[in-house]
Amino acid sequence: MSEALKKIAADSMKSELPQFEIGDTVKISVNIREGERERIQMFEGTVIAKKGSGVAETFTVRRVSYGVGVERVFPIHSPNVKDVQVIRHGKVRRSKLYYLRDRVGKAAKVKEQIR
């Protein structure tokens, strides 16, 4: 039984995984269904967490929109996540950046890593 589940999970995983890390600023193209119509919505922000492994791997992206912090969790292997573009690489020393929730203004920024 578990072999069948592993095969299904392996088939549903995306082969071209984007290479991004914690602290990177990314732009995600998400497929949104409204009734019978579909459209692509962009969400740009800083990756503050990655969780899970295999088909259940997710990442959390945070941005500040009109003075309000907005966080969304995206499954990496979801068919609704069309594309992930890395805008800039961040220089961080933590695996989770939850401390950014308490920061305001320039203190909430992540330094850019020169590659």
| Residue 105, number of CB atoms within 10 A of its CB | 7
Q: Is 114 within a domain?
A: no
Residue 69 in this model has a pLDDT that exceeds 70: yes
Burial level of 29, CB count in 10 A (0-12/13-18/19+)?
A: middle
pLDDT of residue 1: 66
Percent of residues, the chain, with pLDDT higher than 70: 97
The structural domain count of the chain equals 1
- Can you give the residue range of the structural domain that contains 77? 2-108
Does residue 115 fall inside a structural domain?
Answer: no
Q: Is residue 85 part of a domain?
A: yes
Give the H or E element holding residue 98. none
**Which CATH number is 64's domain given?**
2.30.30.790
Q: Is residue 36 part of a domain?
A: yes
Dump pLDDT digits (tens) for 90-101: 999 999 999 999
CB of 86 closer than 8 Å to CB of 65: no
DSSP 64: E
The answer to whether residue 47 sits within a structural domain is yes
pTM for the whole thing?
A: 0.85
Determine, yes or no, domain membership for 30. Answer: yes
